[in-house]
Amino acid sequence: MSLFSDLDFVKENYPLAGHTWYGVGGNAEYFAPVQNINELRRAITRASQQNLDIKVLGQGSNVLVREEGVKGLVVKLEGDFSKFEFRGGAIIAGSGVNLGKLVLESVREGLAGLESLTGIPGSLGGAVKMNAGGRFGEIGTSVESVELIDMQGSTFSKHKPELVFSYRQNNIYESIITSVELSLTPADSEMLLKRVQEIWIYKKNHQPVNRRTAGCVFRNVSGRSAGEIIESCGLKGAENGKAKLSEKHCNIIIAEEGCTSSDIIGLIEKIREKVRELADIDLQLEIDMW
């Protein structure tokens, strides 16, 4: 009998490739597309009781799943977690909300603060968890509070004085973000839309859009661009199987048709080895490798 046989929304041996932007990788031992807080609580407490690893999958835009798949429970927040509402100058949004949609809706409402995230894919929860951003700004500056649930099913909040954001991280540990309050500033919608268009054009010119990627693979190093470091080591366009380093942005790996997780992992290791050899730098991953 399955550990989750009484939870009909939990699926076994579920393929994850279709849920990631790379479109590669194996299956989740258990997969729970939860629709509300009660389903989430039931799934994670059961997994915790059985000492299973628990991972949260947003829109898979920053995840590389190995070919052997993922042991334990993978949770995906849907349903109630995909809703949001405006309250004055704030947005209250579930973790599963599409970040791009949130950016555009805030611009239409004449609220500034998220336009710097234009072109960054993924869910709101994933964006907050890694403090997503780039040269134009980071999401952490707009986060007022988060609602959380720990692995024992207890819910609690963290507010701005308690929240600490830094480069690609924060102080939210051992818990799942269920919703976020974002504090924004009233502004002219047309001006904001123009800013969104400017950022999008910049990214289109400097990044491979509409390709199978997971964004930047490596973290920047002490303020230095990882992409520039990689390019300086002569790795532009480097390939491994069907995985190729972008010609436009040397910190983005493209998964070509027929690519496998092993192709991407092999290219990652090739890049790290070369950079270690030529620049004496040990590149750290920005993407999550499961």
First vs last C-alpha separation in the chain: 26
Q: Which position among 216, 233, 250, 259 bears the catalytic label?
A: 216
Residues 96 and 182: their CA atoms lie apart, in Å, by 15
Q: Which position among 39, 138, 181, 286 bears the catalytic label?
A: 286
- The one-letter code for the residue type at 214 is A
DSSP H helices, 13-83, are 37-49
Strand 111-112 to 185-186 pairing = antiparallel
Q: Which position among 41, 168, 195, 211 bears the catalytic label?
A: 168
46 an active-site residue? no
Residues 188 and 140: their CA atoms lie apart, in Å, by 22
219 an active-site residue? no
216 an active-site residue? yes
* CA distances for 254 relative to 42, 85, 136, 184, 234, angstroms: 37, 35, 23, 34, 17
> Is 244:254 a contact under the CB 8 Å cutoff?
yes
* Adjacency order of strands within the sheet including 54-57: 11-15, 27-34, 70-77, 54-57
* CA distances for 14 relative to 50, 60, 278, angstroms: 19, 15, 41
Can you read off the two tokens belonging to residue 97?
């909300």
- CA 48 to chain CA centroid, Å, is 23
Which one, of 164, 141, 270, 159, lies nearest residue 217 by Cα?
270
Residues 270 and 276: their CA atoms lie apart, in Å, by 10
Can you read off the two tokens belonging to residue 201?
């054009």
DSSP H helices, 109-181, are 124-129
- The set of catalytic residues is 168, 216, 286
